[in-house]
A and B are shown apart, each in its own frame.
Chain A
Amino acid sequence: MDAFVTLDALVAPLDRANVDTDAIIPKQFLKTIRRTGLGVALFYDWRYKDAPSDGRTEGLTADPSFVLNDPRYAGAKILLARENFGCGSSREHAPWALLDYGFRAIIAPSFADIFYNNCFKNGILPVVLLPDQIERLFSEVAGTPGTRLLIDLSAQTVVLSSKETFPFTVDPVRKTHLLEGLDEIGLAEKKAPLIDAYEKNRRERAPWLTPAV
């Protein structure tokens, strides 16, 4: 996983609440056995006119009314979103598609839990800001083409071009992992003696947990 330290990037606004992971990437693309190459399928049904249900991605026409097709937001690495972003299915294909498309951070007033978790595992920083700060950002982005934001994970701040700064909170363990791009499985494996001890104790305490078959 790539580390996340600071990000100074263009912002794309997605002005919809409850954007679910089916919308972020529909079912046709879940049949893959890889994690890469899903960027073309991001927001598939909204992004392409007459998106076919067979999951074809070549020869489609971009729907100009969809915000990511607006040339003003080409190259955006920050997605500005509304509440409960990423709700629904646990599919990690959603952050994979966002990452593959180029997003490294998502700012919203709230996220669904599983999606929020999944972002951290893939080097994407989900930032929760207060509703009025989100409102400010939406009007800023709408009013000023080319709006960029500086996200600083160490300082836990989102800095506007006016230098106005919005602080955010993030779990300290997740923050460290993201700052250093750590392999969490490797970290847990270092705790193997503790896991062994737990298992031994548990076998004695709750022997019925070993499946009967």
Chain B
Amino acid sequence: MARTIIDKIWDDHVVTEEKGTALLYIDRHLVHEVTSPQAFEGLRMAGRKVRRPELTFAVPDHNVPTTDRSLGISDPVSALQVDTLDRNAREFGVTHFSMNDHRQGIVHVIAPEQGITLPGQTIVCGDSHTATHGAFGSLAFGIGTSEVEHVLATQTLPQSRPRTMEVRIEGRAPQGITPKDLILAVIGQIGAAGGTGYVIEFTGEAVRALSMEGRMTLCNMAIEAGARAGLVAPDSITFDYIKGRPYAPKGELWEKAVDFWKSLPSDPQATYDRTVTVDISSLAPQVTWGTNPGQVAGIDGRVPDPESFSDPVVRDSARKALAYMDLVPGTPIAEIPVTRIFIGSCTNGRIEDLRAAAKVVKGRKVASGVSAMVVPGSGLVRAQAEEEGLHTVFIEAGLEWREPGCSMCLGMNPDQLAPFERCASTSNRNFEGRQGKNGRTHLVSPEMAAAAAVTGHFADHRTLSGS
């Protein structure tokens, strides 16, 4: 029978199955400091070990400071959490990229970078943006801490078979339309719960044309559509990216792996439980106006009138969102002023994102009253950017150049919005209070965040005047 890539990976990992619940084998387990301490503590209390420490990779990212690391972490509670990860990794023999390791960074940035993420794998992490790794054609999903403990102890997870959804991106992206715009448009169309219960496969020419960085941005936000995971079938772009990375297979094993990976893409006759088509041929750069990522409009659009929505729940959500965001219906998106800019996160903190943002700010200056920060996704991204001189471009334009980590994506470290500040952010969540209590987040691409930085309001990065 014809199978989708999702079915193929699933079938390949079922250890045993009963009453529709499979015990699924997990190939890679990524661990960060926030969602793991209780799991390790659980193991300790039950006298259990980590079954496959060599398949388990730990890194602190959420709490780490993005300023001078030599000073350590000033908040004692954050420091304890990072130290706890350190201690647990040592005690249980898990590979650990510590805070001062030059490879440290956001877990979803460093695993691909290190070649830990490979096609056809099952990958889990106590973090909802694990979907990012789906860019490689793997089944990658976020889990809770109890499940983290389960995977640590058994390298398996009881799971029910997900439904499959094809999101076919149709048409060619207009010039200057980024992967972030694509995924925001997808979520805008299917809604923040449109993918609940599904694993999404992204297909279409525009997806095939994306770089690995772009595919990661796309898959990263599958969870914001409610999907368990999102993925893109692997191809030569995938293989070229992986080849030669530290943890990737080498020599003869590499050849074998590539042969297998080539069998992963969905069979031509395969069917999905649901197929959605998203036409991007006339898409404008996207900006969210609300408090869930599906509340989004083009830069050429306006803040909608909640009364225009026929569904009472959608209407009520829009009303609450506009009240929280302090926006008036009908306001052109391009007239919304911002005072904070955050460029970074597991959605848009990779080298291509920084290059794109640098290109926009080059030769320009951050608008007065605006404060902007660039936080690379990992130590290696930071080093690469510095090698290319991007940091100089940012610094000369008046943006701050920081150490890697999650930073203001969720503000667990000191990087936070002050109450009522309005931010153009390249992260993935515009929830109430996400970047700081009463902070107002608008999600955009790196190009659009950069354009907002130099103009002080949202602006189409493709038509910025003068430089």
Chain A interface (Cβ < 8 Å from any Cβ of B): 16-18, 20, 22-23, 26-28, 30-35, 45, 51-53, 82-84, 87-92, 95, 110-114, 117-118, 121-122, 171-174, 184-185, 188-189, 191-192, 194-195, 198-199, 202, 206-213
A195 touches B412 (CB 8 A): no
Tell whether, in the assembled complex, residue B35 and residue A195 are in contact, meaning their CB atoms are under 8 Å apart. no
| Distance between Cα atoms of A173 and B432 in the complex (Å) | 35
Interface string of B135-176 (1 = CB under 8 A from A): 000000011111101100111101010000000000000000
* With contact pairs A89-B128, A113-B197, A206-B260 given, residues A51 and B437 touching in the complex (Cβ less than 8 Å): yes
- Indicate if the CB atoms of B156 and A117 lie closer than 8 Å: no
Q: Mark B408-439, 1 if CB is under 8 A from A, else 0.
A: 00111000100000000000010111101100
Known: A173-B21, A195-B156. A18 touches B193 (CB 8 A): yes
Q: How far is the CA of A100 from the CA of B438 in the complex (A)?
A: 26
Question: Which B residues touch A34, using CB under 8 A?
Answer: 37-38, 41
By CB atoms of chain B within 10 A, which of A185, A191, A198 has the most? Answer: A185
Asked whether A31 lies within 8 Å of B78 as measured between CB atoms, the reply is: yes
Given contacts A185-B46, A209-B118, A211-B247, contact A18 B292 (CB under 8 A): yes
B257 within 8 A of A: yes
B327 at the interface (CB under 8 A from A): no
Q: Are A23 and B433 in contact (CB under 8 A)?
A: yes
Q: Which residues of B contact A51 (CB under 8 A)?
A: 437
**Which of these binds chain A: B313-321, B386-394, B455-463?**
B313-321
* A209, B121: Cβ atoms closer than 8 Å: yes
Q: Report chain A residues within 8 Å CB of B93.
A: none
Interface residues of B in 314-343 (CB under 8 A from A): 314, 316-317, 320
Interface size on B, residues (CB 8 A): 83
Residues of B within 8 A of A185 (CB): 46, 48, 149-150, 153-154
**Chain A: which residue is nearest B194 at the CB level?**
A84
Q: Which of B248-256, B345-353, B372-380 contacts A (4 or more CB under 8 A)?
A: B248-256
A111 to B144, CA, bound (A): 15
Residues on A with beta carbons closer than 8 Å to the beta carbon of B237: none
Chain B residues within an 8 Å CB radius of A88 = 128, 429, 431
Contact of A90 with B20 at beta-carbon distance under 8 Å, contacts A195-B156, A212-B247 already known: no
Complex: A23 Cα to B291 Cα, angstroms: 11
Chain B, 18-48, contact with A by CB distance < 8 Å: what is the 0/1 string? 1111010101000000110110010000101
Complex Cα distance A195/B157, Å?
A: 11
Using CB atoms, name the residue of chain B closest to A121. B146
Given A173-B18, A184-B158, are A208 and B254 also a contact pair (CB < 8 Å)? Answer: yes
Query: Given the complex of chains A and B, what is the CA–CA distance between A92 and B143 in angstroms?
Result: 9
Q: Do residues B25 and A198 form an inter-chain contact, with CB atoms below 8 A? A: yes
Inter-chain contacts of A28 with B (CB < 8 A):
412
CA distance A145 to B226 in the complex (A): 34
Contact across chains for B19 and A172 when beta carbons are under 8 A apart: yes
Q: Is the CB of B431 within 8 A of A22?
A: yes
Cβ contacts under 8 Å, A95 to chain B: 144
Complex contact B254–A194 (CB within 8 A): no
Q: Are A112 and B196 in contact (CB under 8 A)?
A: yes
Q: Are A117 and B41 in contact (CB under 8 A)?
A: no
Residues of B within 8 A of A92 (CB): 35, 38, 126, 144-146
Partner of A212 from the list B27, B197, B248, B260 (CB cut-off 8 Å) is B248
Docked CA distance A34–B41 (Å): 9
Distance in Å from the Cβ of A113 to the closest Cβ of chain B?
5
In the assembled complex, B71 has its CB within 8 A of some CB on chain A: no
Within the complex, the shortest CB–CB distance from B353 to chain A, in Å, comes to 22
14 intermolecular pairs with C-beta atoms under 8 Å apart: A22-B433, A27-B411, A53-B437, A90-B126, A90-B142, A92-B126, A92-B146, A113-B228, A184-B158, A185-B149, A188-B23, A188-B154, A202-B25, A211-B55
Knowing A18-B292, A35-B38, the reply to whether A191 touches B23 (Cβ < 8 A) is yes
- Chain B residues within 8 Å of A30, by CB: 34-35, 62, 412
Q: Inside 8 A of A172's CB, which chain B residues have their CB?
A: 19-20
Q: Are A184 and B433 in contact (CB under 8 A)?
A: no
Q: Do A87 and B77 touch (CB < 8 A)?
A: no
Minimum CB–CB distance from B419 to chain A (whole Å) comes to 8
Chain A, residue nearest B250 (CB): A212
Residues of A within 8 A of B249 (CB): 208, 212
Chain B residues within 8 Å of A206, by CB: 120, 257, 260
Contacts of A45 in B (CB 8 A): 432-433, 437
Taking a contact as CB atoms closer than 8 A, the residue among B20, B147, B154, B410 that contacts A27 in the complex is B410
- Chain A residues within an 8 Å CB radius of B18: 173
Task: Known contacts A112-B196, A114-B142, A212-B249; decide if A171 and B21 are in contact (CB<8 Å).
Answer: yes
Q: Does B84 touch A at the CB level, under 8 Å?
A: yes
Contacts of A210 in B (CB 8 A): 54
Q: CB within 8 A of B144: which of A32, A84, A121, A189?
A: A121
Contacting B20 at CB < 8 Å: which of A84, A91, A173, A208?
A173
Q: How distant is the Cα of A39 from the Cα of B20 in the complex, in angstroms?
A: 34
Say yes or no: B432 contacts A22, CB within 8 Å. yes
Q: How far is the CA of A23 from the CA of B434 in the complex (A)?
A: 8
The reply to whether A171 and B160 form a contact with Cβ atoms under 8 Å apart is yes
Within 8 A of A (CB), among B193-209: 193, 196-197
Q: Which residues of B contact A89 (CB under 8 A)?
A: 127-128, 410, 429
A111 to chain B minimum Cβ distance, whole angstroms, is 8
